[in-house]
Amino acid sequence: MASTLAKTSRSIVRAVLSKEQAEGVGARVRRSIGRPELRNHDPFLMLDEFNVDNKGGFPDHPHRGFETVTYMLEGQFQHEDFAGHKGTIGPGDLQWMTAGRGIVHSEMPVKSNTRAHGLQLWINLPREHKMCEPQYQELLDKEIPRATPEEGIMVKVIAGKSHGVESKIYTRTPTMYLDYKMDKNKTVEQCIPSSYTGFIYMLKGTIFVGDDEFEGKAHHTLTFSEDGKDTIKITTKDEDAHFVVIAGEPLKEPIVQHGPFVMNSQDEIYETFVDYQSAQNGFERARHWKSTIATQ
């Protein structure tokens, strides 16, 4: 009898290896989204897998117009901003920061650790939210819900939903962010809204994606087809795997980026520089502020 199985999974259209590069002070990053081959994968601006030793970090710097999502894998990171917000996140913890109209902050590893290893994702904000008030959403590892589609498959639902489990994170740009760990010889199907763009970033192991079993290896970014399908099929064979699935609703708006500022026009970027240099329109507290953690 002929097979009745239709090809229902999205496929992989591109795989790009993330090579290490220097960033910040004493930091090494593997840039995924944001590389020349993967510039502005709407609505995502950047994804870095970072490794920072205890002498490095990301000292005081500004942002406007987007969100930064820091997800720790190993070690601990401190953060501090000009609004008096300060804290530490460790393995499995999450900080979802909406920069909005303006934030100046510092991100530094805890000195007693040998290194800090994690992921930082930049998500663009739609025009109507670019000048919103800054906001933080923070979840400890134990507060992030898990889905277990079957034994040997565990999904941390950082944003969005997976297999009936939903995150409590509020996303101004509709986003799903899932941390998958799969044992060998497993298959899972993950629903993704058909209008979303998306990708997988591989942390460890090998997976086979889609009906044609596209092979994805560690430190590669695998971008999804945009074909109206709402499922991605992922299989492991001879080894276990660790990866993140990230997808979101494209904004389809102009993107003008200058370093840590992302707006819709060159004029808005110019206005942002004036606001930052003049300590106005969201940057009032930047004039005399210096973090304590960057000078320890």
Residues tagged in the binding site annotation:
61, 63, 105, 107
- The residue among 24, 8, 4, 11 whose CA lies nearest residue 210 is 11
**Residues paired with 29 in a beta bridge:** 21, 50
On whether the CB atoms of residues 291 and 59 are closer than 8 A, the answer is yes
Per-residue tokens: 84? 């008096």
Q: Which residues make up each annotated binding site for Fe cation?
A: 61, 63, 105, 107
Give the E-state strand segments of 131-276 in sequence order: 135-139, 146-150, 153-159, 161-162, 165-166, 175-182, 187-191, 197-204, 206-209, 214-217, 220-224, 231-235, 241-248, 256-258, 261-263
Query: Following CA atoms 68, 74, 76, 79 in sequence, which dihedral angle do they give, to the nearest 10 degrees?
Result: -10
Give residue 84's region: left, alpha or beta (phi > 0; psi -120 to 50): left
On whether the CB atoms of residues 179 and 71 are closer than 8 A, the answer is yes
